[in-house]
A = this chain, B = another copy of it.
Amino acid sequence: MLQGSDLACVRGDRNLFKAVNFILKDGGLMQVNGPNGSGKTSLLRILCGLSAPAAGKITWNGKSVRTLGEAYYSELVYIGHLSGTKDDLTALENLRISSAFSGENISEHQAVEALVDMGLGGREHLPAKVLSQGQRRRVALARLLVSKAKLWILDEPLAALDVSAIQLVKNLLERHLKENGMIVMTTHQDIDMTAASIVQLQLT
């Protein structure tokens, strides 16, 4: 269970948000909505523990994520604006290495399978820098296919994807939710998701 209580975020001399409260249960989806610059990315980074909130605290199963540290990280996958793909490594290597970081050593076979599922079949061995914007994004998202983490935090996962890829990702997310996973995500695109519980968090 991920819980945020009374979260506030200050950037420069601007109060992005305050008194943000939410509870996210197993199988629950939280969509963070709001116009450009309303603080969605900032909130997500706070949830990951990448930056500290100005006030309030975040707990994971009742314990503060700050004190949990690595125990929390091992249950978490964060995919941000930047896709974390290495220009010089191939799609395959990128996937295997980024999975290894979250403690999941996947075999080459598994990785190839995930890439093929993401529509990158035949491009596994191309260096990421020659891939198109959408393909790079797919490589990053392929991590979700092989991840065993419970909590997915996704910042605009649909950006740069074409229609078929969006459908793919949507199915993937719904499967994760069905398997009792949790998702926090932002997106500016309309996407209808079914989930046991959906929290809509509106930032302004």
Binding site for B on A (CB under 8 A): 11-12, 34-38, 40-41, 81, 119, 123, 126, 130-135, 137-138, 156, 159-165, 188-189
Contacts and interface: CB of A to CB of B under 8 A. Distances in A.
Contacts of A35: 134, 162-165
A38 to B, nearest CB: 8
27 contacts: A11-B130, A34-B162, A35-B134, A35-B162, A35-B163, A35-B164, A36-B132, A36-B134, A36-B135, A36-B137, A36-B161, A37-B131, A37-B135, A38-B132, A40-B132, A41-B132, A41-B133, A81-B133, A133-B156, A134-B188, A156-B160, A159-B159, A160-B188, A161-B188, A162-B188, A163-B188, A189-B189
Nearest to A39: B132
Nearest to A134: B36
Contact of A134 (B37, B134, B162): B37
What secondary structure prevails in chain A residues at the interface with B? loop
Contacts of A11: 130
A144 to B, nearest CB: 17
A178 to B, nearest CB: 26
Contacts of A161: 36, 188
A94 to B, nearest CB: 16
Nearest to A35: B162
Given A12-B130, A163-B188, 19 more contacts: A11-B130, A12-B126, A34-B162, A35-B165, A36-B132, A36-B134, A36-B135, A36-B162, A36-B165, A37-B123, A37-B132, A37-B134, A37-B135, A81-B133, A134-B188, A156-B160, A160-B188, A161-B188, A162-B188
